[in-house]
Chain A
Amino acid sequence: MTHPITLRVNGVPYPLGVDAHATLLNVIRDQVALTGSKEGCDDSECGACMMLIDGQPVNSCSYLAVQADDTEVTTVEGLAPDDKLAPLQEAFLVEGAVQCGFCTPGMLISATCLLRDNPHPATDEVRIALSGNLCRCTGYDGIVRAVLDVAASRSADPRSIARPAVSRHER
């Protein structure tokens, strides 16, 4: 049985038909055809699939697409509007925070969310905020430095977030 839903992904509405049990990650990758978000563990341990739903972080591999009906979804592709990299993405390049790149989309989403809620985090706060995002390559130090660099220069580019932090439970 197919359920009609509308996802607004990075500001663009997508009317879709999805299976009740389809995950948001699979729908975004296979039906919306945005493949930036990755599948690592597929059970909510690694954060490679992290997106924002109405501004709140979610592990999209473990979230039903039907539940995201009528929400604003932000994926890594939405962090660089107009093909111009966000300051956080530039900082990842400068600090060598990317090796294989598999964790990077989720890391960027997670860190964008952190910097929005806490523009000047301490090192420990960065590590805690990124604890749900596993990286097998970098050893994390470059990633943490990149986030701290952006915090030091200025808070993350406000345009990089589709909508302000409204909990969907409170709408």
Chain B
Amino acid sequence: MTGYIRANTVEEAVAALAAGARPIAGGTDLVVGARQGKQSLPDALVGIHRIPGLGAITETDAGIDLGTLVSHAAIVSHPAIRERYTALADASVLVGSHATRAQGTLGGNVMHASPAMDTGAPLLCLGGTATFATPSGDRTTDLVDLWTGPGETTAGPDELLVAVHLPASAQATGSAYVRLQYRRHMEIAVVGAAAAVILDGGAVTRAAIAITALAPVIRRVESAEQALTGTSGGAPAVEAAAQAAADAARPIDDVRASATYRRAMAAVVTRRAVQAAIARARGEEIPIPATESTQGSWR
């Protein structure tokens, strides 16, 4: 096919993908990239933005399901996400302007697969999985296994992301996402980090730490997680985790920053993200976005 068709069901969308069309949701990556001359618009497009149900946020005993069309604005204003999956709200509130957040979708952010995407590190720390509709039925994958390089995923061209699932969070779980940016809004992360911790009797029983714009893909850093797990979450453990994240970073030089600067700042954003996650797990108030509330002389 060429031109544009609007899908009214997931089946119609998958059929269009199988016929060679690219999906378009909010278009804030696809169309903007074309306007900037990065990559011309595909000849065949299928508009998925009106498919009923894919914009729903559903809480279940197992966790929370976010349809692929859930906008950044919807994430930011959802009480359960703000309360229990806070790192994701920290990320979505930073995306573009209110127009970008109204039109830009979670699924578009995930599938664009930028190493600087803001929802990636929170989704990894919160244990996110992605469900795709394919010509041979649904399949689900851990998000850790989805991103393979800048703009590259393991999803086939005929696979439509339909939802992201985050498992239910344990009691005393706190999470946060922090990025460095040149302005407060309309920016892309220079570097970023997310952390999610579970506290039990004052000890960190589980830690997840992921880094943004510090490798070809958003990735978890196991060495940093190990440095924190089993500790009281005090300054030495946080510092060790921050240093481990910086050691694991494989940053690049580009227009936004040098690799040297990025590596140095990896420790800073990781420290802030971990401290904010621990504070939230303790029930302390760290306002969204943590990027602003952890700036400067914070702790």
Q: In angstroms, how far is the closest chain A Cβ from the Cβ of B43?
A: 8
- A63, B31: Cβ atoms under 8 Å? yes
Say yes or no: A67-B3 contact (C-beta < 8 A), given A56-B103, A128-B184: no
Complex interface: chain B residues within 8 A of A37 (CB): none
Contacts of B43-101 to chain A: CB distance below 8 A: 45, 47, 49-50, 52, 54-56, 67, 69-71, 73-74, 96-100
- B69, A169: Cβ atoms under 8 Å? yes
Question: Which of A62, A67, A69 contacts B35 (CB under 8 A)?
Answer: A62
- With the chains together, A20 CA to B47 CA distance in Å? 11
- A45, B186: Cβ atoms under 8 Å? yes
Q: Which residue of B lies closest to A20 (CB)?
A: B4
Question: Which of A23, A50, A66 contacts B99 (CB under 8 A)?
Answer: A50
Complex interface: chain B residues within 8 A of A42 (CB): 35
Complex interface: chain B residues within 8 A of A43 (CB): 32, 35-36
Complex interface: chain B residues within 8 A of A56 (CB): 73, 102-103
- A62, B55: Cβ atoms under 8 Å? no
Q: In angstroms, how far is the closest chain A Cβ from the Cβ of B155?
A: 21
Cβ of A28 under 8 Å from chain B: no
Cβ of B24 under 8 Å from chain A: yes
- A21, B186: Cβ atoms under 8 Å? no
Question: Which of A64, A131, A133 contacts B27 (CB under 8 A)?
Answer: A64
Complex interface: chain B residues within 8 A of A114 (CB): 98
Complex interface: chain B residues within 8 A of A62 (CB): 27-28, 31-32, 35
- With the chains together, A61 CA to B100 CA distance in Å? 12
- With the chains together, A133 CA to B99 CA distance in Å? 10
Say yes or no: A167-B47 contact (C-beta < 8 A), given A45-B186, A63-B31, A131-B184: no
- With the chains together, A133 CA to B28 CA distance in Å? 16
Contacts of B105-160 to chain A: CB distance below 8 A: 105
Complex interface: chain A residues within 8 A of B56 (CB): 170
Say yes or no: A58-B36 contact (C-beta < 8 A), given A21-B41, A64-B24, A129-B98: no
Contacts of A116-171 to chain B: CB distance below 8 A: 128-129, 131-133, 167-171
Cβ of B6 under 8 Å from chain A: yes
Q: In angstroms, how far is the closest chain B Cβ from the Cβ of A150?
A: 17
Q: Which residue of B lies closest to A106 (CB)?
A: B99
Cβ of B2 under 8 Å from chain A: yes
Tally the A-B contacts, defined by beta carbons under 8 Å: 105
Say yes or no: A168-B50 contact (C-beta < 8 A), given A57-B99, A63-B103, A133-B97: yes
Complex interface: chain B residues within 8 A of A133 (CB): 97
Q: In angstroms, how far is the closest chain A Cβ from the Cβ of B111?
A: 16
Complex interface: chain A residues within 8 A of B27 (CB): 62-64, 67
Q: Which residue of A lies closest to B33 (CB)?
A: A43
Complex interface: chain B residues within 8 A of A67 (CB): 6, 24, 27, 47, 49
Q: Which residue of B lies closest to A56 (CB)?
A: B102
- With the chains together, A113 CA to B3 CA distance in Å? 32
- A167, B49: Cβ atoms under 8 Å? no
Q: In angstroms, how far is the closest chain B Cβ from the Cβ of A65?
A: 10
Complex interface: chain A residues within 8 A of B47 (CB): 64, 66-67
Cβ of B250 under 8 Å from chain A: no
Cβ of A3 under 8 Å from chain B: yes
- A44, B35: Cβ atoms under 8 Å? yes
The 3 closest A-B pairs by CB, nearest first: A132-B97, A169-B55, A131-B185
Give me 28 A-to-B residue pairs in the complex whose CB atoms sit less than 8 angstroms apart, sorted by A's number: A21-B34, A43-B36, A44-B35, A44-B99, A44-B100, A57-B97, A57-B98, A58-B102, A59-B97, A62-B27, A62-B31, A63-B103, A64-B31, A67-B24, A67-B47, A67-B49, A69-B6, A110-B98, A128-B185, A131-B183, A132-B96, A132-B97, A167-B74, A168-B49, A168-B50, A169-B54, A169-B67, A169-B105
Q: A interface vs B, CB < 8 Å?
A: 1, 3, 20-21, 23, 42-45, 47, 50, 56-59, 61-64, 66-67, 69, 110, 113-114, 128-129, 131-133, 167-171
8 A-B pairs besides A57-B98, A62-B27, A132-B99 with CB distance below 8 A are: A20-B4, A23-B35, A42-B35, A44-B28, A64-B31, A66-B4, A167-B73, A170-B56
